[in-house]
Every structure is written in C-alpha cells, then in structure tokens.
Amino acid sequence: MEAKDVRLQGLLQTHGKTIILPYDQGLEHGPRDFFNAPFAEDPMHIIEIAKKAKYNAVVLHVGNAQRYFDRMYGQVPLVLKMNGKTEIPTDAEPLSPVTASIDDALRLSAIAVGYTLYIGSSRQDEDFEQFAAIREEAHRAGLPVIVWSYPRGSDIEGKGGKNSLYAVEYATRTAVELGADMVKVNVPNLKQDPRIPEPYKSYTTDLQEAVKRVVRAACGVPVIFAGGEMMSDEDLLQKARICINAGGSGFIYGRNIWQRPVEKAMEITTQLKQIIREGKAKK
Amino acid sequence: MEAKDVRLQGLLQTHGKTIILPYDQGLEHGPRDFFNAPFAEDPMHIIEIAKKAKYNAVVLHVGNAQRYFDRMYGQVPLVLKMNGKTEIPTDAEPLSPVTASIDDALRLSAIAVGYTLYIGSSRQDEDFEQFAAIREEAHRAGLPVIVWSYPRGSDIEGKGGKNSLYAVEYATRTAVELGADMVKVNVPNLKQDPRIPEPYKSYTTDLQEAVKRVVRAACGVPVIFAGGEMMSDEDLLQKARICINAGGSGFIYGRNIWQRPVEKAMEITTQLKQIIREGKAKK
Amino acid sequence: MEAKDVRLQGLLQTHGKTIILPYDQGLEHGPRDFFNAPFAEDPMHIIEIAKKAKYNAVVLHVGNAQRYFDRMYGQVPLVLKMNGKTEIPTDAEPLSPVTASIDDALRLSAIAVGYTLYIGSSRQDEDFEQFAAIREEAHRAGLPVIVWSYPRGSDIEGKGGKNSLYAVEYATRTAVELGADMVKVNVPNLKQDPRIPEPYKSYTTDLQEAVKRVVRAACGVPVIFAGGEMMSDEDLLQKARICINAGGSGFIYGRNIWQRPVEKAMEITTQLKQIIREGKAKK
Amino acid sequence: MEAKDVRLQGLLQTHGKTIILPYDQGLEHGPRDFFNAPFAEDPMHIIEIAKKAKYNAVVLHVGNAQRYFDRMYGQVPLVLKMNGKTEIPTDAEPLSPVTASIDDALRLSAIAVGYTLYIGSSRQDEDFEQFAAIREEAHRAGLPVIVWSYPRGSDIEGKGGKNSLYAVEYATRTAVELGADMVKVNVPNLKQDPRIPEPYKSYTTDLQEAVKRVVRAACGVPVIFAGGEMMSDEDLLQKARICINAGGSGFIYGRNIWQRPVEKAMEITTQLKQIIREGKAKK
Amino acid sequence: MEAKDVRLQGLLQTHGKTIILPYDQGLEHGPRDFFNAPFAEDPMHIIEIAKKAKYNAVVLHVGNAQRYFDRMYGQVPLVLKMNGKTEIPTDAEPLSPVTASIDDALRLSAIAVGYTLYIGSSRQDEDFEQFAAIREEAHRAGLPVIVWSYPRGSDIEGKGGKNSLYAVEYATRTAVELGADMVKVNVPNLKQDPRIPEPYKSYTTDLQEAVKRVVRAACGVPVIFAGGEMMSDEDLLQKARICINAGGSGFIYGRNIWQRPVEKAMEITTQLKQIIREGKAKK
C-alpha cells in the first residue's frame, strides 16, 4: 500500500468512515461566522472539540496550523488546507490561490492536504494546473489529497446553478479524474431548473438516490459531505443519515459543530457517529 | 529506432493499425455520457472491454490510471492523457490545461501520452508552448505523443467551423509540424459554407477523398479517427471503412464502444478489426 | 523557540509592546509627504529619531536600507519592506509587487520583513501566492513577517469601505490565517453604511470595543496600529490609548512622528511610551 | 571567431551570399499553400530541391526536422524554426509562441535557428523577452539566430501598414538592436499613406534606394529578403536583382521555389544564383 | 567599498561628474532619429565621438554591444541597456521588456547596466518585480544600476503629465527607494496644470529650484539629466548649467550629441565639460 493510502486509511477511523472538523471559514467567510459564537473565534475551541469528540482530523490553514502545532501534535490529526480566499471579491470567476506548500504540510505533520477546486469556473484551466502540481507533490510526499470539489462561477450558474445534481455529479467525477483521494461535496439540491443540461433537466429522483449517484460518480473514491450553515439538529441528522445510507464516507461539518459550545458539539457528534454505526449495521 | 518509435510500433498491433479505447469523457463531458449506460461509469467496464477485445491501449486521466494501475499493468497498455477540461466553461477561447506529468506517465508505465491541442483558439499560443514542453519531455522519456488535434474557438467558427476539410487538414498538419507522433482527428464534414477560406470554399469532393487529403496532410505520421457520439452500427462501420480505405491508421472510438455492454462491445470491435484486415488485404 | 519567534520578541521591547517607525511613504505616497517637512526627505532624519527615541525598528525599502546600512547596523533594527507601489495608478484592483528578496533581508540583517496584503482586491489571488512564497522563505530564514493588512479595491468599497469594522476584522483574521507573525491594521471607522454585510451592518459599538474585536480576531498574534496622516497630539495620544487598552501590541506611526523635528518627535514618542507603560500597569 | 559566427559563415556559401529554402508555411498558412502544388505537401520535395539546387539551408519546424533528420543530416543544412503559429486566430495582436528548444536544435544538428519577431504588436513585450531568452541560449550553444522581423498588429496598421519603408527599416533595426545575426524582411512597399509617421510620410524614393536604406538600417548584419506569394519569373528575378544590388545578403524564397516541380525549381534557382554572381562581379 | 560602488565611481570621472552617450534610440524611436543624420545610423560614429570626446560611457543594447565589443573593449566603457521597446505600440500602459541579461553584461564587460522604469504605468507592478530581479542580480555581479526613471501611462497623464515637478520628483524617489545607483530623469516642465495633485498644483518656483528639488528627492543618489530632441546650442548649454548648479551629477545627452558630425559633437562636449568644471569651481 502506498504511503498516501496508509494515511488515508488513518482518516477513516470512525467505524470505517470519517468525521472531519473543518476550520477554514475564518478565511473563507471571515469573522462573521464567529459573530454569534464568539468562543469559536479561538482555534482552541475547535481543537478541544476535536480532541474530546475524537474527530479524525481538523482542517486548518497554515497560520493556525503552525501556531497551534504544539497543542495538536500527536493528539489531533491535521488536514492542511493548501488554498483559500476571502469572500470579498466577486465569485463570478473564482480561483482559490495556494496559501501553503507541501513542505509546510510535512513540517506540520499533516495526515492529508485539502484543496478547493472550482469546477466550471472560467479560470478552471489555472486551477487544474495548480492542482496537478500539488497532487503530484503531495503523493510523492505520501500525503493524500482531499478535494473540496465545488462547481462555481457564472458558467455553472447559466447551467442551473452550483448545487444541481448535474453540477455535483460532474464536480465529483472531475476531482476523481484529476487524482483526488477523497472528495468533499455539497449534498445536491433537487430543485428543477430549465437551464440544467439534458438528460439531467428531465430527470427527477429523491435525495437518497441523488446522493447515491454522486457517490457512484466517484468510482470508489471516498465521498464526504459538507454541512453548510447552521441548521436544526433534526435537519442535520436527517441529512447525515441520507449521506451514509447512500454510501457516503463521512462528514466534514464545520459551523454546525463548532458554533456550539464544546458540550453541545460533543453531543451532536455522538449522534453523528451513531448514524455511521447504524449505517454500518445495515450493511 | 528511437525508444519513442519502438513504443509507437507497440500501439500499431492490429494488423499494423491501432484500435484505442479512450475514456477521458468523464472529465470532458461529465457523467451525462454515463447516464444511459450506467455500467460505463465504472472504469472496470472499459478495462474489461479492452482486455477481452484486445485493444491496443486505453486512454485514461491520471486519477483512474493510478487507481486502476494494478488491474491494467501488463494486461492493457495505457495512454495517459496529459491535459483536459470540463465542458462547463464556454468554448469560445479554449485551452486544455495540463493535468498530469511525464513523471506520472513513467510511473504508470504508459506506452504513450495524449495531448489535446485546440488549433486556432485565441489561446493557441499558450497551447503551443505547453505542448512543446510536453513533447520534448515525452520524447526524452521515450514516450510517443498522440495529439487530439481539434480546430476550436470563435475564429475557426468564423472560418466555417471546426469540422470543415480546411479545418481538419490544417489541424492535422499543425500537429505534425509541432512534432506529434500520431494524430487523432474527426472525420471532416463536407457541408459547404461561404465562410470557409479559398481554395477550400470552392472545392467539392467525396468523403473518401477528403479523408485521404487529411491523411496526406500528415506527411506520413499515423492519423487515427475519433468516433464521436453513439451512432448506428451501420454508420460506424461505414465510417471506419472510409477511414481505413483512405489510409487512416486506426480508430479511437470511445462512446460507440463502451456505451455498449461488454459482449456487444466485443462484437462491434470484431467487425472493426475485420475492416482493418480487409483494408490490409486490398493493398 | 523558533528563530523567527526569537526575533519577533526582539521587536517587543517597549514594556513588552513595540514602537516601529515606518518610512516607506516615499514610495507609497511620493515626495508630497515631505513637502511641508523637507527635513524628512533625508532618511538620516528618521534614523536619528529612531536612535534617540529608541524605536524598536525602522521600516525601509531596499534602496534606503542598503544605502544607510552602515549608519543603522547594530544601532537601529531594520524591518525590510518586501513590496510596495506608487499611488499613481488607480487603486481599484491593487497588488503590491515584490521589491526585495529574503536574501536582501538577510544581507541587510533585518529583524523582520514587512508585506502589504490587499485583502479583497480582485488580484487577491496573486497576492496570496506571492505572500505564501515570502512567508515560507522568511520563516525558513528565521525572519518574522509583519503584514500590512489592508482591505482594498472596488469590491470592499461596495461592501462599505476599507475601514469598516467588518473590513478591518476580516483583514486581521486573513493575515493570521495566512501565517502573519504580526499584523498592522488601521483603527476601524465606525461610520454606519448600508452596504456593510450583516451582522456587522446592524452592529453598533464604541471604538474601544471595536478595537478589542480586531485584536481578538488575531487569535493571539500581535496587532499593531497605523497612524495615518498627521493629526493633533491630543488625537494621536487618545488613539494610542484606545489601542493599548484594547490589547494592541503597539504603534507603527510614521508621518505623525517623522514630520516633526527630532526633538518634537522624541517628545511625542515619550508620551506614547508612557501610554504603553500605563497600559501595562493597569493589567 | 565565435562558434555562432563560424556557423553563420557556413550559411553564406553562395558566392558569399545565402539562399535559404523556408518550409514553415504548412504551419503558418496551412495546407492551402499545397493545394495547387500537392507534391509540395511532402517534405521530401523540398529536401530534394535543396540537395539538387545546393541551397545553403532548409527551414523546418521541429516535427519535420525530426522526422526527416536521417534524410538531411550531412546533406542539407537545417535552420530550425523556433516559433510559429497558424493563421486562424486574428492577427491584431500577434505573438508567435515557441515550438522548439535549443536542445532540439542541437540534437538535430541545426546550423542556425529562426525566430519570428512581430515588431509593434501590442504583445511585443512578451515577444522581446521570449526572444532574449532564445538569443542568449542559442549564442551560448554556438548557433546564430535569423530573425523573421515582421512589423505586425493593429498599431502598425494605424501607422501606414506593415510593409511601409518606415515599418521595414524599423523592424530591421529592432532585430539588430536585440542581437539578431541575420535579418529576414519583406521588400518594402513604397505606396504613400498619410498615416506613416514623418519624416517617412513625406519621403519618396525608388525601390532600389529603399532597399538600400533597409540594408543600411542593419548596421552590417546580413539582411535577406522574403519572396511571398508565387509571382512571375520576371517579377521574382527583378526583385532579386534589386535586393542584391542594394547590398542584400541573399534570398529566403519559399513558395516561389517549392510550388514548382523539382526541375523548374532548379532552373529558377540557377537564375537566382546568376544574379548573385553578377552582383558580386559588379563590386 | 562594494564592487558596484567602485564601478559607479568609475563613471564619475569628468571632474567628479559623468557624461554618458546613450545610443538606445534605434530601438526606442527607430531609424527616424537617423533620418537627417544618416552617419549616426552607424554605431561607429557614436563610438568615435565617445573615444575622442572621452565620454565616461556609451549606452548600447545587446545587439550592438556584442557586435562592436572588439572596437570598444578597453577604450569606451559600456553601459548595457537591459530593457527597451519600440514606439509603435500605444504608450498608454507601457512596460519595457527585458532584452539582455546580467550574464550578457558581464560577458561584455559592462561598467553598469541601464533599466527603464515606467513609474505610474498600470503595469508598474510587473515592472517593479522585473526591476527587483535585475537590481539584485546586478549588485551580486558588482554592477551598478542606472534607472531611466520615467513617469508614463494614462494615470500620470490624468495627474498633469509625465514631466511635471510632481511626476519627476516622484519618479526620482521611486527609483531610489527601489535601489537605483544612479537616476536618469528629464528636466521637469513647470507648466501649471489643474490636474497636478496638491501641494504641487499650487506650488510655483523657477527651474533651478525645481531641479534642486529633484536632486534632493534622490537622497544622495547621483541624478543625471536627459537631453531629449535636438535643440539649439544655447538652450542645451543653459539647460546643462541649470542641472549642474542644482547639484545634478551629469548629462546623458544622445541626439543632441550624435546627430552632429564628430567634430561638432566634440566641440559641444567640450562646452559641457566646461560647465561641469565651472560648477565645481563655484562650490
């Protein structure tokens, strides 16, 4: 087994699935994500949740990864995010620039690296080249690459939006074709839209089946699902259940976890793990 | 004989011609190509066809080439595709960005590499430089380069479209001038168009003669023909016959092969090989 | 302790805080900043103030740093500014290009390097990559990086301007996420503006609390505050007091210091130090 | 004498002048240049003419140079063209991208390299940098550089067009300033045009004198003249006579030579050599 | 003393000032500068003047520097111009691309290198980075850098034009901040313009004082003045006198010198030297 695959297995330690705590929103959305949960502005809050609730990894940008290295090393596995941007410039032609190097990842003992790929952006060509360089260097260094595979930009808007089943399946497949070791996507939105290309435009299905299609588009590469903005416990758990039943490999929920106090975050995590266990039992 | 030419001969093993099974459409067109043939979403379907029908090579992007290496090595020769893109952004000024390296090709034991060149795109200059670097590195590594030579972009639309005889001949010649070892083109479309430059605008001919011209434009470099969207068996075989009779070096048919179940794919492949054999007999 | 952190401590020698004298305005604003204080056109004026008033460092671009090296070495610590621009081109999509190298910084015995990051500019992607390279190289060389973290460009104007609390907090956090060792920002302006994103639009507070929020956004990374254009002593000292009381790590005041004759500059510096001492006493 | 100058002398072997057979039109103009002379589509036609008529060199792009190396080596000197483009994209802001490397030139035993410089294009800045790198590397490798020095793009159109005496003199001088070892230009067109800058606008002269001015603009660097589209023998020989009498260093005629059958090509070449001999006798 | 400073002293050998003969106009303006002085088209004319009138250096682009190396070495010091462009493309967003390397400068035994910096151009960012690389490499090679510091582009036009005192002072200061060892500027034009930024808009002075301000903006770096188009002897000498009296470090007059026959060029040079001597005597 290649070194990168050994490390990837190390991420799949929650009954064979993974739960990852992403904390790159300080850059992606800015401090507004901490406004109503000021405790979450402190990275130690996230590290504490990860430790206590035994998350398989925390995702950080290089600044925090470096500053909190001594409080994570040997206790909380790190996924180093390799690129990122603020939400201030318009999102019409996005490209997520590189903010860290594989040398950073090695120095900080990362278990994997994360990369945001904006599928369908008019700058997709630059993105693919940037990704190819990182993918190759990461694999050479024994690090698996998790791709945040996001349809984005005005062209996908013109084809029905970034969350259509068409868009999410295509994004999943693209990450896999380019060499991702794990793919993070959003749960598709089944709202119909005349701009979605055929045969997807005329296709109707339920969410469980849709998520299955997304998982299948990955040719066996583990697919994990994002959580998005804070929602009710009920909605979150229902969403999680669908993902697991559809064959998803786990969750990468951020705001829905760390916008809660530590105890509350632990509680909901326990419920998420229970869903994974139940999913496993079903098989 | 140079190492790259030895490997190129290794591709021409079907009665001196080649049949190649391309599977880069998951990236180029997305999962819609698998919608009505869901079995084809799994790369193993393609690998199985290639093995059973003895294709001279399968074309993959690096992600699948890496993941299925253990199921192909020593059994199905690999053409590693070096660049690619999704169909989401507009095709007005296309450039196909690099997605893999020659190091990848060597590690994965590729017999050749594939490169998509968009002749006539306003970004042709970047494309030529990108190609020159890969061509040089590939040859140094003993790998032949197959060029997907596609007229594309708004300027060629203004000159009568991407499939005119003018466009296809020019694309073929361009690939050859730049150092391609094998050229993949579309069969030209003989529809007249007042925007096609002279003397091609006033020139009329039949398809067989047109394909001959394309083959001749290659100065002896092997020319292979793409299949495009699924068509009837009759049309496909007729098309294949014309290409072989015109001196083409083989077929690189994807959807027309792998959108069929394995047995059906084997049947049509047998017929394609028969056409090659007959072509050889004629000579 | 890493070499870069040892040097960073060397900057925090004014009762645990820092006072830094920036002199990059000759490039950023041009000679108009010296028009009414012609003595300040001569870098020796700044070096003299720094020596006599015991500033923790002077900030210079490479030209002056090199020319005055023999008059500073061992006497006035240098922060070498790594990028900069003139104010002549429009500021709609700013990027501050690199003007010096880490090799320059080492040769000139800099204690730290300074980098201007234009948060929210449409060229933010280039900026992040440029910064990442410098951050990594600086840290490898044992040099801390001070980020001039400035929201800038038309997109932030459309979100309420570069000095809103939203903008300044986001800029602070961004620098920290990307690996800054110290952050220089402007004191936020609390003027309401309907274009500021929620929840900041509806949020009202006083300046002291606002500055606290900015300091908190830095996750423990020292935040220092810029002075801007010359103002009255009273205003300057009041501003300084707020920054210190809010947990700021010091001042980086330029024009407000060096547009005064040496004696006057020393007097106001004494008062600034007094504010730091008082702030310390309060704790 | 530097290695590059020794090789340059090797090109000037036709009574001290040079006759070069360029065959880069398959890329620059596409197969339409072979339409009425289909035998010329085969590079062997050109190689045969060059051998039989003792051309001082043939100009090829890397693809053909490589494929026909075994039929040229030791018999026909090669000028490897280093850049080129198709005529499909608009010519408003041209840049000729690099298609080969100096390593290619050395491997293929080239006697010189050729480079197309588009003087006055809005992308002239990229062109100059690209040229500088090749010029430096070529000279280090002992290879002289022949510059196809072509005024081109919308700005020169606005100044009276690409073939005015102003434009051609300027192009010649530019190539020389940048380090060309030989300059290829078009014979100027003396048509008056109010948009030509002064003092050229008001200047009238005859063609012989105009060509002399072009030769003089080169500061002693050999200037050779292009032929352009096929013309009558009479016109071609008259043009050749003017160039030689004006001090030109030879001809680089393509279509006017190789669009003829071999015997005809040999005949016209004999006449061209006669013109050179007569020119020499006059001196 | 650093090697670069030793060489810089070698340029200041005319009573402690410098007279430099620039001959980069063949590229910058084209052959029209030689139209009425055809003898000047030959670089030997310039070399002869430099030798006979003992100029401290001649400025050449790499092509001529290389070709005339054997006639200059040990007799006329060379300043190698590192970048340049033609005047054909519009000057709205200028960038002067690199045309030679520091390796060229060393091989050609240059005493210094020259670089054109377009202050205020919208491409100033690229320019600064390009300059930083050359400045660093030149200094490492012991070569001083003379900056042609020219305000240029549409943004400076919108601020009152490229020759205002504001523009010239700013350009001087910018070159110095970025590490120039000597700065070449135009004598400012004192014409008032409402678009000039304050406080310069309201400021009136005489030419001598204006030039003094420019010299002072350089923080002690030698400032030399350009001559521009041919003018009367009287005007030229008057201009020279003002520059010297204002503390300028010499002249870099091209067309005003070499558009004269050698004897006339020697005469005017003698007068210029006399002005320098007088300036020295005054002190």
Give the helix ranges, DSSP H, for A68-164: 69-72, 102-107, 124-140, 154-157
Taking an 8 Å cut-off on Cβ atoms, the answer to whether D170 and E30 are in contact is yes
> Are residues C186 and C165 in contact, defined by beta-carbon separation less than 8 angstroms?
no
Closest CA in chain C for residue A93? C122
Q: Which residues of E are catalytic?
A: 150, 184
Among D residues 90-149, those touching chain B with beta carbons less than 8 Å apart: 90, 95-101, 103-104
Is E32 touching D (CB cutoff 8 A)? yes
The pLDDT score that the predictor gives to residue C1 is: 86
Is C250 touching E (CB cutoff 8 A)? no
Which of D122, D126, D177 lies closest to E63 in CB terms?
D177
Residue C109 Ramachandran class (φ > 0 left, ψ -120 to 50 alpha, else beta): left
Confidence at C280, pLDDT banded by 50, 70, 90? confident
**Rounded to whole angstroms, how far apart are CA atoms E248 and E215?**
6
Query: B2, B124, B173: which to substitute to probe chain D, counting the most D Cβ within 10 Å?
Result: B173
Taking an 8 Å cut-off on Cβ atoms, the answer to whether D86 and B198 are in contact is no
- Å between D241 CA and nearest CA of chain B: 32
- Å between C104 CA and nearest CA of chain E: 8
Picking from C179, C191, C111, C122, the residue whose alpha carbon sits closest to that of residue C149 is C179
- Å between A61 CA and nearest CA of chain C: 6
Taking an 8 Å cut-off on Cβ atoms, the answer to whether C120 and A36 are in contact is no
Taking an 8 Å cut-off on Cβ atoms, the answer to whether A64 and C219 are in contact is yes
Taking an 8 Å cut-off on Cβ atoms, the answer to whether D120 and E89 are in contact is yes
**Rounded to whole angstroms, how far apart are CA atoms B199 and E207?**
66
Which of A30, A41, A85 lies closest to C216 in CB terms?
A41
DSSP state of B59: E
Taking an 8 Å cut-off on Cβ atoms, the answer to whether E32 and D219 are in contact is no
Taking an 8 Å cut-off on Cβ atoms, the answer to whether E86 and D122 are in contact is no
Structure confidence by residue, pLDDT tens digits, D89-145: 998 999 999 999 999 999 999 999 999 999 999 999 999 999 999 999 999 999 999
Which of A88, A99, A104 lies closest to C159 in CB terms?
A88
Of residues A162, A184, A239, A273, which has the active-site annotation?
A184
Closest CA in chain A for residue B59? A177
**Rounded to whole angstroms, how far apart are CA atoms B212 and B225?**
12
Phi/psi for E86 (5° steps) reads -90, 165
Whether pTM > 0.90 for this model: the answer is: yes
Q: CA triplet B113, B115, B117: central angle to 5 degrees?
A: 160
Which parts of chain A sit beneath pLDDT 70? 283
Taking an 8 Å cut-off on Cβ atoms, the answer to whether C136 and A85 are in contact is no
**Is the Cα torsion angle A118, A120, A122, A127 positive or negative in sign?**
positive
Taking only the tens of pLDDT, chain E with its 283 residues reads: 899 999 999 999 999 999 999 999 999 999 999 999 999 999 999 999 999 999 999 999 999 999 999 999 999 999 999 999 999 999 899 999 999 999 999 999 999 999 999 999 999 999 999 999 999 999 999 999 999 999 999 999 999 999 999 999 999 999 999 999 999 999 999 999 999 999 999 999 999 999 999 999 999 999 999 998 999 999 999 999 999 999 999 999 999 999 999 999 999 999 999 999 999 887 6
Q: CA triplet E224, E228, E232: central angle to 5 degrees?
A: 110
Is D169 touching E (CB cutoff 8 A)? yes
Is B2 touching D (CB cutoff 8 A)? no
Query: Judging by DSSP bridges, how do beta strands B112-119 and B223-226 pair with one another?
Result: unpaired
Of residues D23, D68, D118, D150, which has the active-site annotation?
D150
Which chains are adjacent to chain D, needing at least 3 Cβ pairs under 8 Å? B, E
Closest CA in chain B for residue D99? B132
Closest CA in chain C for residue A61? C177
**Rounded to whole angstroms, how far apart are CA atoms E115 and D252?**
36
Which of D32, D90, D100 lies closest to B197 in CB terms?
D32
Which chain B residues have a beta carbon less than 8 Å from that of D99?
A: 128-129, 132, 177-179
Distance of CA E265 to the CA centre of its chain: 18
Rounded to the nearest 10°, the torsion over CA A172, A174, A177, A179 is -80
Structure confidence by residue, pLDDT tens digits, C239-274: 999 999 999 999 999 999 999 999 999 999 999 999
Which chains are adjacent to chain C, needing at least 3 Cβ pairs under 8 Å? A, E
B150 among known catalytic residues? yes
A/E Cβ contact: 3+ pairs below 8 Å: no
Structure confidence by residue, pLDDT tens digits, B147-200: 999 999 999 999 999 999 999 999 999 999 999 999 999 999 999 999 999 999
pLDDT at B283 over 80: no
Taking an 8 Å cut-off on Cβ atoms, the answer to whether A179 and B31 are in contact is no
Closest CA in chain B for residue D39? B216
**Rounded to whole angstroms, how far apart are CA atoms C277 and C272?**
9
**Rounded to whole angstroms, how far apart are CA atoms A128 and A131?**
5
Query: E139, E162, E164, E177: which to substitute to probe chain C, counting the most C Cβ within 10 Å?
Result: E177
Is E89 touching D (CB cutoff 8 A)? yes
Query: A130, A156, A164, A177: which to substitute to probe chain B, counting the most B Cβ within 10 Å?
Result: A177
Rounded to the nearest 10°, the torsion over CA B124, B129, B135, B137 is -160
Taking an 8 Å cut-off on Cβ atoms, the answer to whether A30 and C174 are in contact is yes
Is D278 touching E (CB cutoff 8 A)? no
Rounded to the nearest 10°, the torsion over CA A6, A11, A14, A17 is -90
Is B85 touching A (CB cutoff 8 A)? yes
Phi/psi for E243 (5° steps) reads -60, -45
C-beta contacts of E130-135 below 8 A and 24+ residues apart: E130/E83, E130/E95, E130/E98, E131/E178, E132/C62, E132/C97, E132/C98, E132/C99, E132/C100, E132/C101, E132/E178, E132/E179, E134/E82, E134/E98, E134/E102, E135/C62, E135/E178, E135/E179, E135/E180
Q: Which two tokens stand for residue B280?
A: 């050889």
Q: What is the mean pLDDT of chain D?
A: 97
Which chain B residues have a beta carbon less than 8 Å from that of A149?
A: none
| Partners of D269 in the β-ladder | none
Closest CA in chain D for residue E33? D199
Taking an 8 Å cut-off on Cβ atoms, the answer to whether A88 and C156 are in contact is yes
> Are residues C25 and C254 in contact, defined by beta-carbon separation less than 8 angstroms?
yes
**Rounded to whole angstroms, how far apart are CA atoms E152 and E170?**
12
Of residues D159, D184, D239, D273, which has the active-site annotation?
D184
The complex scores an ipTM of: 0.96
Phi/psi for A146 (5° steps) reads -95, 125
Structure confidence by residue, pLDDT tens digits, C87-127: 999 989 999 999 999 999 999 999 999 999 999 999 999 99
Q: What is the mean pLDDT of chain A?
A: 97
